[in-house]
Chain A
Amino acid sequence: RKEVEQDPGPFNVPEGATVAFNCTYSNSASQSFFWYRQDCRKEPKLLMSVYSSGNEDGRFTAQLNRASQYISLLIRDSKLSDSATYLCVVNRNFNKFYFGSGTKLNVKP
């Protein structure tokens, strides 16, 4: 079983839409959680960390459900520039990082 699983998509949404991605992780001992964004043929960049109480950064909201072992990312008022692949990342023992395969988002005019 993979450490981190994501729906690969693609999610095709119009500008202004709200879209949500989920990610599940297999190891309950995972301690830190992140969403990274990766543009085509570029390196991943941190979008936001995910905290137990949930956190928001502008149009982006991240939630963590430890009991069900899933993480979500909500994007409101989608922009064309949000088109990218979103990678779910978990960290255990503050050592190795496990990446999901990514969810591709296409925001269309």
Chain B
Amino acid sequence: DTGVSQDPRHKITKRGQNVTFRCDPISEHNRLYWYRQTLGQGPEFLTYFQNEAQLEKSRLLSDRFSAERPKGSFSTLEIQRTEQGDSAMYLCASTPGGTSGGSSSYNEQFFGPGTRLTVL
């Protein structure tokens, strides 16, 4: 399978615990995005990487959230001291991307299946 993969698919944790999610983008894609989606809402941007550089973080991302993409390939999203409000679907997406933009098709996003987090 050459699509975007995410692991785990489901995570149930108790409030206060730390969790880490992994995303493997399509191999030739430079850009990787993390989103959070709650019921009835569209995906909300959290952060994105151009290769290994984290270029932007949303104000939604509190200090408890951190993301890395150490070698410009896979990425991890860690949530420390989880709260019940963190319960959501966490989606990863990748695009071919580029440093100076491109056509619409160049910026199509390919999503992984998501990690559904439930904080009890």
Binding site for B on A (CB under 8 A): 4, 8, 31-34, 36, 42-46, 49-51, 87, 89, 91, 93-102
The answer to whether B112 and A43 touch across the interface, beta carbons within 8 angstroms, is yes
The answer to whether A96 and B48 touch across the interface, beta carbons within 8 angstroms, is yes
The answer to whether A43 and B108 touch across the interface, beta carbons within 8 angstroms, is no
The answer to whether A101 and B42 touch across the interface, beta carbons within 8 angstroms, is yes
Smallest CB–CB gap between B31 and chain A, Å? 9
Pair count A-B, CB < 8 A: 63
Interface centre among B40, B91, B104 (most CB of A within 10 A): B104
The answer to whether B112 and A34 touch across the interface, beta carbons within 8 angstroms, is no
Smallest CB–CB gap between B51 and chain A, Å? 14
A42 to B91, CA, bound (A): 10
- Cβ contacts under 8 Å, A42 to chain B: 113
Binding site for A on B (CB under 8 A): 33, 35, 40-45, 48, 55-56, 91, 97-98, 100-102, 104-114
Smallest CB–CB gap between B112 and chain A, Å? 6
A49 to B97, CA, bound (A): 15
The answer to whether A95 and B42 touch across the interface, beta carbons within 8 angstroms, is no
- Cβ contacts under 8 Å, B44 to chain A: 99
- Cβ contacts under 8 Å, B98 to chain A: 94
The answer to whether A51 and B41 touch across the interface, beta carbons within 8 angstroms, is no
Interface centre among A42, A51, A93, A99 (most CB of B within 10 A): A99
Chain A: CB-nearest residue to B113: A43
With A89-B109, A99-B43 given, can you name 4 additional A-B contacts, CB distance below 8 Å? Answer: A45-B111, A46-B109, A50-B104, A87-B42
A97 to B104, CA, bound (A): 12
Chain A: CB-nearest residue to B106: A94
The answer to whether B105 and A49 touch across the interface, beta carbons within 8 angstroms, is yes
Chain B: CB-nearest residue to A32: B104
Interface centre among A31, A51, A87, A91 (most CB of B within 10 A): A91
- Cβ contacts under 8 Å, B105 to chain A: 49
Q: A32-B104, A43-B91 are in contact. Are A98 and B45 (CB under 8 A)?
A: yes
Q: A8-B40, A99-B42 are in contact. Are A43 and B111 (CB under 8 A)?
A: yes
The 18 sampled A-B contact pairs (Cβ below 8 Å) are A32-B104, A32-B107, A36-B109, A42-B113, A43-B112, A44-B111, A46-B109, A46-B110, A51-B104, A94-B97, A94-B106, A95-B48, A96-B45, A96-B48, A99-B43, A100-B42, A101-B40, A101-B41
